[in-house]
Amino acid sequence: MSAVSSVSASEGTSPDNPAPLIEPPRARTARTPKATRTNFELYGWVFMRLSGIVLVVLVLGHLLIQLVLDGGVSKVSFAFVAGRWASPFWMAWDLIMLWLAMLHGANGLRTIINDYAQRDGTRFWLKMLLYTATVFTVLLGTLVIFTFDPNIR
Ligand code: HEM
């Protein structure tokens, strides 16, 4: 029997509204654990949608430039990257794409781990691995974009 149908049909009903009244399952009470009293998951949900919209533009534009226009992928070389990163516009494009894709992907994987990891220890260590990889990649990518030297030998 589901949680909904376990509520007796007469509970909370009135002649005007025959539907049973069901208490919201996640109503916050004094006994709600502190960790779940914030709106973190709501903001995470909104972030996935907003970053997804921005990523459509950034990622499709990136793929078009790198893989389709001007002879496709064969034109991508050190000189090509150096030419693009001479412009603050493309540096900003790549930086925002890096940060949004990493945070979007990491938050998505965090949700998947929370959904599927059954043991507390497994969930904890998978998320630690995810956060470590995310911080490492974001910092390394940011460092490369800002310290790129076109005259390197
Ligand atoms: C190109 C534009 C993209 C759009 C429009 C987009 C959109 C979305 C949306 C709306 C969700 C939430 C789905 C849900 O809550 O049910 C999501 C989840 C996710 N996204 Fe993206 N995304 C994009 C790119 C990316 C990229 C580049 C990555 C990887 C770096 C990624 C990895 C993920 C992951 C792992 C999830 C979680 C999936 C799940 O909960 O089952 N997405 N995406």
Q: How confident is the model at residue 25 (pLDDT cuts 50, 70, 90)?
A: low
Q: How confident is the model at residue 1 (pLDDT cuts 50, 70, 90)?
A: very low
Highest averaged pLDDT of the listed ranges 29-43, 58-72, 134-148: 134-148
What is the rounded distance in angstroms from the CA atom of residue 149 to the CA atom of residue 138? 19
Q: How far is the CA of 99 from the centre of ligand 1 (A)?
A: 14
**Does the C-beta of 46 come closer than 6 Å to ligand 1?**
no
Q: How confident is the model at residue 88 (pLDDT cuts 50, 70, 90)?
A: very high
66's tokens: 């790198």
| Domain range annotation of the chain | 38-147
Q: Atom 37 (ligand 1): residue with closest C-alpha?
A: 108
- Ligand 1 atom with least separation from CA of 55: 2
Q: Within 10 A of 51 (CB to CB), how many other CB atoms are there?
A: 20
What is the rounded distance in angstroms from the CA atom of residue 95 to the CA atom of residue 59? 12
**Does the C-beta of 54 come closer than 6 Å to ligand 1?**
no
Q: What is the pLDDT of residue 9?
A: 45
Q: What is the pLDDT of residue 13?
A: 62
Find the mean pLDDT for residues 56-80: 93
Q: How far is the CA of 152 from the centre of ligand 1 (A)?
A: 37
For all residues of the chain together, what is the average pLDDT? 87
Position with higher pLDDT, 34 vs 99: 99
Find the mean pLDDT for residues 85-103: 97
Q: Atom 41 (ligand 1): residue with closest C-alpha?
A: 112
Q: How confident is the model at residue 63 (pLDDT cuts 50, 70, 90)?
A: very high
**DSSP string computed for 75-130:** G-SHHHHHHHTTSHHHHHHHHHHHHHHHHHHHHHHHHHHHHH--SHHHHHHHHHHH
Buried b / exposed e over 5-24, threshold 16 CB at 10 Å, is: eeeeeeeeeeeeeeeeeeee
Overall CATH class of domain 38-147? mainly alpha
CA 25, 31, 35, 39 torsion-angle sign: positive
Q: How far is the CA of 106 from the centre of ligand 1 (A)?
A: 10
12's tokens: 């909370």
**Does the C-beta of 111 come closer than 6 Å to ligand 1?**
yes
Asked whether the predicted pLDDT for residue 58 surpasses 50, the reply is: yes
Measuring CA to CA, how many Å separate 18 from each of 4, 9, 11, 15, 22? 15, 9, 10, 6, 12
Asked whether the predicted pLDDT for residue 148 surpasses 50, the reply is: yes
